[in-house]
A and B are shown apart, each in its own frame.
Chain A
Amino acid sequence: MKLQAESRRESGVLLEVDDLHTYFSTPIGLVKSVDHVSFTLDRGRRLGIVGESGCGKTVLSRSIMGLLPRRNVVRGGSVLYEGRELTTMPLKERRKIWGAEMAMIFQDPMTSLNPVIRIGKQLIEPLQIHLGHDRQTASDTALQLLTDVGIPEPEKRMRQYAHELSGGMRQRVMIAMALTCGPSVLFADEPTTALDVTVQAQILDLIERQRRDRNMSVVLVTHDLGVVAGHTDEIIVMYAGQIVERALTPVLFSSMKMPYTEALFRSIPKLSDPSHTRLVTIGGRPPNLIAPPEGCRFSPRCPYATDVCTTTPPELVEATPGHWYACHHPVGSERWQEVNVRMNTGHSVEAS
């Protein structure tokens, strides 16, 4: 028991995703939601997955856990969790991992709690089933969990229904539920998107505190670069089902290479901008994943795209150790400078 606890403290590779792909077969073709994604996650580390809506973030996290329905899904690649292969593991085995080893928090706390079951019961049941607690122990543990996630008057909350709590409270309860069986990896799928900005920071801090206390790894899926900035060690930028850039958080923010990352970064409104500044957007929309553009998938929307981009897909290359990107004309390249100069002069001409 003690040994196990100590081994959990150890660092090392916890999750190894290799060449994972998940395609959905639909009547109009194969939707390549996750396309050959590889990464590793160390124990106790925080990984951010960033990208627009529809770029495969959610599908990626769900296919790592193996939560996707079996029908009409084409999958491939491998997911190694503590050396165990998850993709070929029978459902019975995977169920033991779900909740106990890997857990997930969902985007919308309004719909992810059962509206007709009391909060307490929703927390107690997994404890009884997974850990074999008797009623009293499970109830005490649940109470402790609610206290841990910062819910006042936990005894009262246990007897309440989801609709009697506010959005932030519900998300706290969701986190408590995800933590019930002490998972080693927590997938947080846009955990703050449905919440008020004021509550967002609290929830992120809560996840962070729990991660530290339990030495969990956290995979934070979001479209908000601001959210990942302060709460991750490493960031993966996804576009159209593929990883386009991957770096340690400070490296990514100081020297991003991929024009898509740059565009995402630019579209964050800044306090220093003068008032009535037009919000910067990325023109166009994410590509059709049934027939993605040839070459670089971002090329139709990329201001730096050239002929190469529309014909040859860029490979992931390493800029500095640990910083990978896939682009023919990365930020800082000649082409990038050329276009930027033109854009700036164009702007000034327009203004005058």
Chain B
Amino acid sequence: MSETSTPTTVDDATTPIVSPSTVKKSKYRKRGQVAKWLSIVWLVLLVFTAVGASWLPYVKHSCDQFESKADCRTHIDPNPLLSERPPAWATFSETSRPIVRDAPARVGLMGTDTNGFDIFSRAMFGARNSLLIGAMSIVFGILIGGTLGLIAGYVGRKTDRVIDTIMNIFLSFPALLLAIFIVGFFGSSGADEAKSRSIGPIILALVILSIPPIARLVRANTMVFAQREFVLAARSLGAKNGRIIVREILPNVMPAMVTFAITGMAILIVAEGALAYLGLSVSAPTPTWGSMIFSGQRKLETAWWISIMPAIVLFLTVLAINLLGDVLSEKFRIKEAIG
């Protein structure tokens, strides 16, 4: 009667739970591992070069081509000597290249664009902006959308109905149209810098695009967890609503939110590209991947690399982010299944 802890319970708890994933390491699983590590390596390299773009030797190389050594991002004078040179590894015959004396036939890793900028270094400077736009948008999207979703899901009733209706209104617009509208509306408000659009309106547009889906996801998850008994248990121990939302429900909603956010970031990077392609992203000298692709669209037949090279970088990045999102969701799912 007094000694109630029998071996059965002890054994039960100390035996480690073997998840099915560790038992069966199939070929598929290994391939998934390779893809995961490739994605991580790609993203780490990308972030590293994006952050250090101004200092890394090859990346800043494009600036060295100019006598003034002024910030190459603001330099828009065409350099005819280097303009539209194909990448160094391109060995096909070049018939349509304008013949410029003393001009190198092939330049750099990715060639040069119409202004004579090295596309690789611009793509790395562009990574800075594209990743920053994607990350900032999703962070704000999560902060606002997540909060709205938690409140709507937990409080319910009228609050839920109001928030849900607003989200539905936003969701009923075609996403790109909404983004164009927001950028057009807020981007041109500053009279003195009407021509040079900054990063702000783009982020604002993307944040507004990302809020409704995040809010809905979080709301649905919150509703599920708010019904669980541990919430009632916390309440029966005297926890306040704010505490229950933040300490009990939020950690449970987090996995779904993070997974969604990572995939969402990929979508937002593409969305920025779409905006840029329509000429609605950050103004000319500041590169983003989208605006780089846009700048080469009329030369696809003669100088394909101007569009294709940044497109490949964009593609690989989005792919890597998506794969990473898959890995994360897999990880969370296993844990959820045992719990």
Contacts and interface: CB of A to CB of B under 8 A. Distances in A.
Interface of A: 65, 67, 71, 95-100, 102-104, 106-108, 111-117, 125-126, 129-130, 150-153, 157, 161-166, 168-169, 174, 177-178, 180-181, 198-199, 202, 205-206, 209
Given A116-B251, A125-B247, A106 B238 contact: no
A98 B1 contact: no
B238 A163 contact: no
Given A111-B228, A111-B229, A164 B235 contact: no
A112 B229 CA distance: 4
A150 B338 CA distance: 24
B237 A180 contact: yes
Interface in B272-331: none
B34 interface: no
A151 to B, nearest CB: 7
B2 to A, nearest CB: 7
A205 B230 contact: no
B232 A115 contact: no
B165 interface: no
Closest 6 CB pairs of A and B: A166-B12, A99-B237, A115-B339, A163-B339, A112-B229, A98-B238
B2 A209 contact: yes
Contacts of B6: 198, 202
Nearest to A96: B238
A177 B335 contact: no
Contacts of A161: 339
Interface in B187-241: 228-230, 232-240
A95 B238 contact: yes
B248 interface: yes
A125 to B, nearest CB: 7
Nearest to B157: A71
A106 B232 contact: yes
- Best-surrounded residue of A153, A178, A202 (most CB of chain B within 10 A): A202
Contacts of A116: 251-252, 254-255, 339
A164 B13 CA distance: 7
Given A117-B247, A152-B10, A199-B9, A205 B236 contact: no
The interface residues of chain B, by DSSP majority, are classed as helix
Contacts of A107: 229
A111 B237 CA distance: 16
Given A108-B229, A150-B4, A168-B12, A115 B235 contact: no
B8 interface: yes
Given A114-B248, A169-B13, A205-B1, A98 B230 contact: no
B13 A166 contact: yes
Given A116-B252, A163-B338, A166-B12, A99 B236 contact: yes
A174 B9 contact: no
B5 interface: yes
Contacts of A99: 236-238
A135 B211 CA distance: 37
B99 interface: no
A103 B335 contact: no
A152 B232 contact: no
26 contacts: A71-B157, A96-B238, A98-B237, A99-B237, A99-B238, A102-B236, A103-B237, A104-B233, A112-B229, A112-B232, A115-B336, A115-B339, A116-B251, A116-B254, A117-B247, A117-B251, A163-B17, A163-B338, A163-B339, A164-B13, A166-B9, A178-B236, A198-B8, A202-B4, A202-B6, A202-B9
Given A163-B339, A202-B4, A205-B1, A98 B235 contact: yes
B238 A165 contact: no
Nearest to A171: B9
Interface of B: 1-6, 8-10, 12-14, 17, 157, 228-230, 232-240, 247-248, 251-252, 254-255, 335-336, 338-339
Contacts of B229: 106-108, 111-112
Nearest to B7: A152
Nearest to B15: A166
A104 B233 CA distance: 7
Given A111-B229, A115-B339, 5 more contacts: A65-B236, A98-B238, A116-B255, A165-B13, A177-B233
B237 A114 contact: no
Contacts of B1: 205, 209
A95 B248 CA distance: 17
Contacts of A152: 5, 10
A125 B232 CA distance: 16
B9 A163 contact: no
A71 B190 CA distance: 49
Nearest to B336: A115
B247 A162 contact: no
A174 B237 CA distance: 11
A169 B235 contact: no
A277 B5 CA distance: 35
A229 to B, nearest CB: 16
Contact of A206 (B4, B234, B237, B240): B4
Contacts of A117: 247-248, 251
Contacts of B232: 67, 106, 112
A100 B236 CA distance: 10
A163 B335 contact: yes
B252 A168 contact: no
B278 to A, nearest CB: 42
A56 to B, nearest CB: 17
Contact of B230 (A113, A125, A153, A178): A113
A114 B238 contact: no
B277 to A, nearest CB: 41
Contact of B12 (A108, A112, A129, A169): A169
B2 A112 contact: no
A104 B1 CA distance: 23
A162 B335 CA distance: 11
A164 B17 CA distance: 7
